[in-house]
Structure 1
Amino acid sequence: MVVSARLIYLLFCRIASWLVLLGRSSAAKDVELLVLRHEVAVLRRVNPKPRLDWADRALFAALIRLLPKHLRAHRLFT
């Protein structure tokens, strides 16, 4: 019983997240992908503590400003 309830809950959460994603504009999705890709690139360069140079900061500042406000809070770099 517990496993089936958990499975139903997880399926509901996944479907709800897909519906939210459908409601967003393609520009917001593209900007979020660019920010995430650049975050991954920075994290791959330095393992323990990523150090940002001026170009990284400028790119993040420009791209993050284009994200919707509720997505800005979840960024690794602000």
Structure 2
Amino acid sequence: MIPRPPRSSEPTAAEASAWADVLVRRRLLHAAVLAPTSQWLVQDRPNGPVRVLMGPADVVVLAATIQHHTRMMRPEAR
């Protein structure tokens, strides 16, 4: 696997919102809501605990983590 170069800028709220939308639409998260404090409230399943992410960077890291886990679980990745 080729390592990615480091980001040149911090993720924006728009980027975090786009990733949150994708994760919810693909049912990888139950909910992801931007709070007025710029924090994100995320929930993995309907009755699961709500986690608080501190900002857009945390949403992007969560998306990358979920994507990595999903790819590693594919049969061809084993």
* TM superposition score normalised by structure 1: 0.31
- Higher helix content, 1 or 2: 1
Larger relative contact order (Cα-Cα within 8 Å, sequence gap ≥ 6)? 1
* TM superposition score normalised by structure 2: 0.31
Q: Give the number of the structure whose alpha-carbon radius of gyration is greater.
A: 1
